[in-house]
Amino acid sequence: MSSESYHEPIELLSEPTKNMHRALVSLREELEAVDWYQQRAEACSDPELAAVLTHNKNEEIEHAMMTLEWIRRHNPTVADNIKTYVGSEGPILEVEKKAAQGGGGGGDDQKTTSTSLGIGSLKGKP
Amino acid sequence: MDLLKRQLAPITSEAWDQIDDEAKRVLALHLAGRKLVDFSGPHGWQLGGVNTGRLQQIAKGPVPEVSHAIREVKPLVELRAPIRLPIMELDYAARGANDLDLDAVIETAENVAHSEDGAIWHGFPDGRIEGIIPASPHKPIDVGSSHGWLRAIAEAKEVLRIAGVNGPYALAAGIEAYDELIAAGEDGYPLQRRVEENLGVTPIVWAPALRGGAVLMSTRGGDYELTVGQDLSIGYAGATRDEVELYITESFTFRVLEDKAAILLRRGSGNPPPAPPKPKRK
């Protein structure tokens, strides 16, 4: 079996859910590797090895972002949240408040928006 | 104060909360298009149109040696539907009632949702909106009977693939189509699960404003775009001694960017009926 971390009987899971599981597990593994390389590079007493480990860490970050992009393309809620938070400016909790007021997240020109019901995009929502 | 003038309404904040929550619940339930198409916005009241990037040539300009063209812009449609509520009923909220009679809110929210969604699926020529179904160049696939869904969806998927439209694919189903899809098949296994598991089509969305069957479409992005200026909101119109008039409003337009990305699966006789059936509560 490619993964032993399913939480439900595999016969009840659809193919898209299994693929998403593969992606999420891969993302977790890449991020763990980033953490490990970071610690090893910092603790390493040999500068050349430290440089190699840092290089490896950066490669893992690239892998993590590629996996995250796959997840973004297949989960509209992830896409919406990335649009709202990634690359935003100012306190992150303020970004959440503004998104809730403007609705849907990722909207621009919010100064000209009256208080709406905050429905926005429903992609990925039941 | 903004255009909605909510602060002027003789309504307590407790009543506003219940009105907003009820409208939001009903709208989110009935708006199927927003669950499947790309969304741009909210951009606010000041957005009047969307740039299409196209030019419309003018045959004869003021100076014959100079050619002229005007830029094509897709204007936003602004809709507004009234809600009338008795003030006495709303005041119960301040006394602790959490079960206000908000049938008028529900009915208006359903109408507004069907207005937006109807434009997305069937178009709205006066609002310069071409819907997904009229724009599709694919010949509709007849489902035949309630047992024909799996075959028809598989066939529809193939049509989209041949047209170069890749997945993921989702299905928007009108009321009757949805009822048939969630029912158990001949072997007792729900048809909906078969469509999701065997054909990889997910989600299957309840689309009460969609008439004449169901639509299989790609949700890869870049094919259909709903642009919203002011997102769905409740405003205040006026009040008498006994009654307050509110309204639900929004400004939006919808663009078909790739017409080949959807196909109609026709269920029932011939073309969609002219008037939408009153949806059942889900």
Q: How many domains does chain A have?
A: 1
Q: Rounded to an integer, what distance in angstroms lies between the CA atom of residue B97 and that of residue B235? A: 23
Note whether A123 contacts B36, CB cutoff 8 Å. yes
Q: Is residue B149 part of a domain?
A: yes
Q: How many domains does chain B have?
A: 1
Describe the crossing of helices B103-122 and B13-30 by its angle, rounded to 10 degrees. 30
B44 vs A contacts (CB less than 8 Å): 109-114
Question: Which two three-digit tokens encode residue B159?
Answer: 């049509």
B window 41-60, beta carbon within 8 A of A: 41-47
- pLDDT value of residue B232: 96
Q: Is residue B215 part of a domain?
A: yes
Residue A2's pLDDT band, with cuts at 50, 70 and 90, is low
Give the residue numbers spanning the domain of B193: 6-50+72-266
- Minimal Cβ distance to B234: which of A117, A123, A124: A117
Give the residue numbers spanning the domain of A19: 15-90
Contact assessment for residue B225 and residue B217, using Cβ atoms and an 8 Å cutoff? no
Q: Is pLDDT larger for residue B161 or for residue A1?
A: B161
Residue A111's pLDDT band, with cuts at 50, 70 and 90, is very low
Q: Is residue A22 part of a domain?
A: yes
Q: Is residue B282 part of a domain?
A: no
CA of A72: which chain B residue's CA is closest? Answer: B220
Q: Is residue A118 part of a domain?
A: no
| Parallel, antiparallel or unpaired: strands B262-266 and B141-142 | parallel
Domain of residue B45, CATH code: 3.30.2400.30
- pLDDT value of residue A25: 95
- Minimal Cβ distance to A114: which of B3, B27, B39: B3
Q: Rounded to an integer, what distance in angstroms lies between the CA atom of residue B95 and that of residue B20? A: 18
Q: Is residue B231 part of a domain?
A: yes
B window 23-42, beta carbon within 8 A of A: 23-24, 27-28, 31, 34-39, 41-42
Q: Is residue A60 part of a domain?
A: yes
Q: How far is B253 from chain A (nearest CA, A)?
A: 14
- Minimal Cβ distance to B231: which of A14, A16, A120: A120
Task: Output Rg (C-alpha) for chain B, integer angstroms.
Answer: 22
Residue B16's identity, in one-letter code, is: W
Q: Is residue A63 part of a domain?
A: yes
As a residue count, chain B comes to 282
CA of B22: which chain A residue's CA is closest? Answer: A117
- pLDDT value of residue A114: 59
B234 vs A contacts (CB less than 8 Å): 117
Q: Is residue B108 part of a domain?
A: yes
H or E element in which residue B38 lies:
strand B38-40
Q: Is residue A28 part of a domain?
A: yes
Q: Is residue B213 part of a domain?
A: yes
Low-confidence ranges of chain B (pLDDT < 50): 270, 273, 275-282
Helices and strands: H and E segment counts in chain B: 7, 12
The answer to whether the pTM exceeds 0.80 is no
Q: Is residue A112 part of a domain?
A: no
Q: In the block, which residue shows the tokens 């693929």?
A: A19
Q: Is residue B216 part of a domain?
A: yes
Q: Is residue A52 part of a domain?
A: yes
DSSP string, A52-71: HHHHHHHHHHHHHHHHHHHH
Whether A103 has a pLDDT exceeding 70, the answer reads no
Q: Is residue B58 part of a domain?
A: no
A63 contact partners, CB below 8 Å, separation of at least 6 = A30
A window 52-111, beta carbon within 8 A of B: 73-74, 76, 102-104, 107-111
Residue A112's pLDDT band, with cuts at 50, 70 and 90, is very low
Q: Answer whether B194 touches A (CB < 8 Å).
A: no
- pLDDT value of residue A105: 40
Q: Rounded to an integer, what distance in angstroms lies between the CA atom of residue A35 and that of residue A61? A: 10
